[in-house]
Chain A
Amino acid sequence: MKNAYFGEFGGCFVPELLMPPLLEVEAAMRDVLPTMEFKIELEDLLHNFAGRPTPLTYCPTLSRELGFHLWLKREDLLHTGAHKINNTLGQALLARKIGKTALVAETGAGQHGVATAAAAARLGMDCTIYMGSEDVARQAPNVVRMKLLGARVHSVESGTRTLKDAINEALRAWISSQASTHYCFGTAAGPHPFPTLVKYLQSVIGRETRSQLLEKTGKLPDAIVACVGGGSNAIGLFAPFLEDADVRIIGVEAAGTGEPGCFNSAPLNLGAPGVLHGNRTMLLQNNDGQIEPSHSISAGLDYPGVGPEHAWLHKTGRVRYGMVKDDNALAAFHRLCKAEGILPALESSHALAYVLNHPQEFAPDSSVIVNLSGRGDKDLDIVVKAGEM
């Protein structure tokens, strides 16, 4: 295996039984991804099926209130409602090219499950989704969507019954089904080569953003901001800007309810290095190395780990990682709805909340881009229950 690490983070910590299929994915990345045929087919799917390119939307009202220029990268407008489809179309196409006929995937909020089911249906592949029973209950509409798209949805009853346990179960399923099946991993985490593969497929977000802002203003942004759960929308936005020293890059973790010692989903700020789900990264864990349950109001951020490249970018200081609490994310959700007519996902609301809560960090007239990674339709129940209409 080559380039499995980002500094001291990453690697490939999986049972030997999963090494052959992971090496197969690595070989496909080397042999298939760079071919013109693959690029043309993926480009066609992203354009004609998923709806790329997505707009870069200026926010006139909020910009006036904040005193700097706020832009949103509109991944919420993609088919199935979030950036996840960039990754699933790419992985499904890659899997089909190496002869796989089925996809297995985990899902937390259900967005990755829906995006995987859609890609599988479009490409004529079988699809099985593992989802924690907690998440099945709180994201019921997405379970219906997955089933309508032809996927089998397995409710996972082990552990904390959320995303982390869904990943455990999907990895187990992949051991026995690897001959016919690709594991369509949903975020830029997991064992090598997934962090690199998912970054590659999600980097379309950052590449488009860069050329769109250059076209509109002639300049690079002063700051770019994205929420970080596993970190796929964030690394997709960040990757094309990492070499631009003048662009401030901010990742936003979910602080949960916010009181000291509360359950949260902020392993970069509040965790410690360790190994889970195939990679060495920052984790929420106790002193004995047992993984702690995470919490966030947004199911898509509710994960005790984070992609290994984020752990490295945090350590080197290239990216700053802040935290936003549940109630601040909700407030940002409502403010964007009313001010700009856009209903953001609660995940993306964390990124927006960081900017709204720290306006002093951004110079007057600077350009700040927030990745609006998904739309909020899936979160209506949660928002209504939380009140403050």
Chain B
Amino acid sequence: MNVLERKIRHAVDEGRTALIPFLTANFPDKSRFWPNLMELDESGADIIEIGVPFSDPVADGPVVEEASRRALADGVTLRGIMKELLERKGFFKAGLVLMGYLNPFLQYGLEKLADDAAAACVNGFIIPDVPFEEAAPLRDVFRRRGIALIPLVGLNTGEERMRLYAAESEGYVYVVSVMGTTGERNTFAPQVADTLRRARAVFSLPLALGFGLRESSQLENFPRDARPDAVVFGSALLSHLDSGGSAAEFMRRWR
């Protein structure tokens, strides 16, 4: 069982929903990023997703795109992120996932990426512009080092396509809750529960719900058979930190 799956299972066994904060590298600035990451880790994050900035983030809404733009303007590179992660190897209780678009990973070199990620205790990757059809080469490179390539499925992913992913995936399943980009929303479409049920029937992996989450009360209305095992929050956390709030304070709302 991949580390990431184990982390979520552990939370579920404790009777809670696993928490997966997302933070774009270098956010909100160079001096505060790593302390924020440590604080998320100490405040009960089960898994932390670190956003690798890209110039053309098509799956992201305005908040994450702006964070990505700021990181690039500050000279953040994948090389730099990997180096800093390696220096902090073993600091984090939470599982670590890098989320970013394919091209920076490709230019880094996939074999080297997988080697360096394994050395830095990175447990998984989320690459939103790699659908099932293009995933095989990446999955193989990662799998040899025990690193998971996390699949994303959405409200328009039918059972048939879910089965394709289910046969090959590890870690957890990222269920995208909106037909759109990342960013907070007030309500969920009724199809979200259907999608979670569909995913539950097809995947044996834990389900993480993400995109559009703002507060824990959004989950209360979910029918019992359609509750996710984990929740991912990005834009809401970035906005909270950007307006001067602390990571610990944000995490308390979810515990």
Contact = CB atoms under 8 A, between A and B. Distances in A.
Contacts of B103: 274-276, 283, 285, 289-291
Contact of A289 (B107, B131, B158, B181): B107
B55 interface: yes
B96 interface: no
A11 interface: yes
Contact of B104 (A11, A159, A171, A288): A288
Given A14-B129, A15-B129, A171-B58, A178 B106 contact: no
B157 to A, nearest CB: 6
Interface in B89-103: 101-103
Nearest to B100: A289
B239 interface: no
A158 B65 contact: yes
A159 B131 contact: no
A19 interface: yes
B77 A178 contact: no
Contacts of B128: 15
Contact of A176 (B77, B79, B131, B180): B180
Contacts of B222: none
A185 to B, nearest CB: 14
B201 interface: no
- Interface size grouping (class) on chain B: 35 or more
A262 B154 CA distance: 42
A1 interface: yes
Contacts of B56: 159, 164-165, 168, 276-277, 291
A1 B156 contact: no
B199 to A, nearest CB: 12
Contact of B106 (A17, A20, A158, A289): A289
Contact of A20 (B61, B129, B156): B156
A12 interface: yes
Contacts of A277: 56, 58
Interface string A110-133: 000000000000000000000000
Interface in B185-209: none
A49 interface: no
A311 B2 CA distance: 39
Interface in B47-73: 54-59, 61-62, 65, 69, 72
A15 B152 contact: yes
B14 interface: no
Interface in A253-296: 274-278, 283, 285, 287-291
Contacts of B157: 16-17, 19-20
A47 interface: no
A13 B134 contact: yes
Contact of B179 (A4, A14, A175): A175
A1 B56 CA distance: 25
A290 B107 CA distance: 9
A13 B129 contact: yes
Interface in B125-168: 128-134, 151-154, 156-158, 161
B129 A288 contact: no
A274 B129 contact: no
B131 A12 contact: yes
B33 interface: no
5 contacts: A13-B131, A14-B129, A20-B156, A20-B158, A275-B102
Interface of A: 1, 4, 11-20, 158-159, 164-165, 168, 171-172, 175-176, 178, 274-278, 283, 285, 287-291
Given A15-B129, A172-B180, 16 more contacts: A11-B134, A13-B130, A16-B154, A19-B132, A19-B157, A158-B65, A159-B55, A171-B58, A275-B102, A277-B56, A277-B58, A278-B129, A288-B104, A290-B54, A290-B103, A291-B55
